[in-house]
Amino acid sequence: MRRVIFGLLVCWLLATPGHAQQVRVKDIARVQSVRANQLVGYGLVVGLAGTGDTRQSPFTIQSVVSMLQRFGVSVDVRTLKPRNLAAVMVTTDLPAFAKEGSRLDVQVSSLGDATALQGGILLQTPLVGADDQVYAVAQGAVSIGGFSAGGGGTTVTKNHPTAGRIPGGALVEREVLTRLQDSPDLLFINLHQPDFGNAQKVADAINAAIGSGAATAADAATVRIQVPPAYQAQVVRLIADIGEVQMVPDPAARVVLNERTGTIVIGGAVRLSPAAVAHGSLMVDILTDFGVSQPPPLSRRGDTVVVPRRDVRADEPKASLMELPAGTTIAEIVKALNALKVSPRDVIAIIQALHDAGALHAEVVLE
C-alpha cells in the first residue's frame, strides 16, 4: 500500500506578545565602520577513503599535477585516479580587528563530484579577499558532523557529507585597518534591521545615557552621535557605554514561510482585519493488490502472470469555517488554525491568501 498525504511537518516558532523586553543597543546595531570581510580560497582535501572526485572532475587532476610539480614530482596525468582527494572551496569571514596569528573557523565545500569529505585533511590553502590579496591561510582536518556509508547498492547518509568546517583552521596573515570614526567629532551607529521608529528610540536612549542632543536619527538605519567632550580621547569607552544602553525596540510584523522545511515563524506584532477562513485538505490512498491470472486447465496456450489491481481513493474532509475578528493576535491565529486542524502546507496557503486579501497586516517572507 502506498499512501500519499498532502502535508508537511512543521516547527512553530512563535513570538508571543507580552511584556516588552529591553535589549542592548549593541545587540541590534553596530558601529558603521566596524565590519567583516569575506575571504575565499581553492584547495584540496586529501586522505579520503575512496569518496573523492573522479576523472569527471578534470580540475582536480590538474590541481594534483600542479601541487606535485611544486614538490618536484612528475606524474602522468593519464594514470591519476583521484578517488582519495577532492577539490574544495574554502570560505570564511575576516572579522574587524582580527590580528596576525588569530585563528578563524572556515567552511569547506566540495567543488567536484566527491561523495563525502569524511576523514579528509585540507592542505594549505591561501584565502583571498575581493582585492585578490591573501589575508589568511587555512589547513586542517575537516569535520562534516555526519557520515556517509554503504555497500551493495545501499547507502546511509547523515547530514550533508560534502560540506564541513574546520574550527580554528585558518591563521590570519594580514590585518585589515579599521577606522572607528570618519571624523574626530562624529560617530555613526547602523541598525541591523532598518526601522525609523527603532532608530529614533536608539537616539533617545543614547541621549538619556550620555547627554541630551548627542544622538540624532539620520535615517531608518543610521544614528549620528556627536562625541561629547568627555569622550574625545576615549572613543572606545564611548562605544562600550553606548553598547550597554538599553531600549525597547518595536517588534516587526513579519511572517516567514519555508515550505521546504515546513517552518513557519510568525512575529508577535502580526494582526488581522476581520476575515473568515474555510480550507479543506485532500488525502489520497493508493492501494495495490496482486492477483494471479492463469489459462484454463489443459489449455495449450497462455501463461500464468501476476496482475496488479490498483484502487485509488480520494478523501476530502468537509471544510470548516472559522471567523477571525479584527485585531486578532498571534495566539488567537494559532488557536484558530489549530481548530481547523490544518497541515503546515495548508497554513502557508491560508497565510498567503489572507495577505493577498489584505486582511493580514504583516510582511510575508517566502524562503
Q: List, in order of start, the domains of the chain with CATH numbers.
A: 2-15+253-281+318-366 (no CATH), 23-34+179-247 (3.30.1360), 37-172 (no CATH), 289-313 (no CATH)
Q: Which comes out higher in pLDDT, residue 266 or 282?
A: 266
pLDDT at position 109? 94
pLDDT on residue 26: 92
Residue, of 338 and 252, whose pLDDT is higher: 252
Q: What per-residue confidence (pLDDT) applies to 348?
A: 79
CA-closest candidate to residue 189, choices 230, 132, 247: 247
CA 218 – CA 220 distance, rounded (Å): 7
Per the CB < 8 A criterion, the answer to whether 118 and 144 are in contact is yes
From 61-65, 259-263, 325-329, the region with the lowest mean pLDDT? 325-329
Q: How confident is the model at residue 230 (pLDDT cuts 50, 70, 90)?
A: confident
Separation between Cα atoms, residue 40 and residue 135, nearest integer Å: 10
- pLDDT band at 246, cuts 50/70/90? very high
Give residue 256's pLDDT: 85
pLDDT at res. 335: 67
Lowest mean pLDDT segment, chosen from 217-231, 291-305, 350-364: 291-305
Q: Which three cell numbers stand for residue 330?
A: 498571534
Q: Is the pLDDT score of 1 beyond 80?
A: no
Tens of pLDDT along 154-178? 566 666 789 999 999 999 999 998 8
Q: Is residue 146 very low, low, confident or very high in pLDDT (cuts 50, 70, 90)?
A: low
User: What is the pTM for the complete model shown?
Assistant: 0.70
Burial code (b: 16+ CB inside 10 Å, e: under 16) for 60-91 equals: bbebbeeeeeeeeeeeeeeebebbebbbbebb
d(C-alpha 290, C-alpha 310), whole Å: 9
pLDDT over threshold 80, residue 203: yes
Q: Is the pLDDT of residue 330 over 50?
A: yes
Map grid coordinates 589568511 to a residue.
136
Mean pLDDT of the chain: 81
Q: What pLDDT score does 134 carry?
A: 96
**What is the per-residue pLDDT across 7-36, written as a single tens digit (0 to 9) for each?**
333 444 444 444 558 899 999 999 988 889
Local confidence band at 319 (pLDDT 50, 70, 90 cut-offs):
low
Report the distance separating Cα 283 and Cα 248, nearest Å. 46
Percent of the chain with pLDDT over 70: 75
**Which pLDDT score, from 0 to 100, does residue 5 have?**
33
The predicted pLDDT at position 258 comes to 81
Residue 187: name the closest of 246, 244, 240 by CA: 240
Which are the contacts of 195, defined by CB distance < 8 A and separation ≥ 6? 220, 249, 250, 252
Q: What is the reported pLDDT for 14?
A: 44
d(CA 305, CA 116): 44
Which of 214-218, 313-317, 343-347 has the largest mean confidence?
A: 214-218
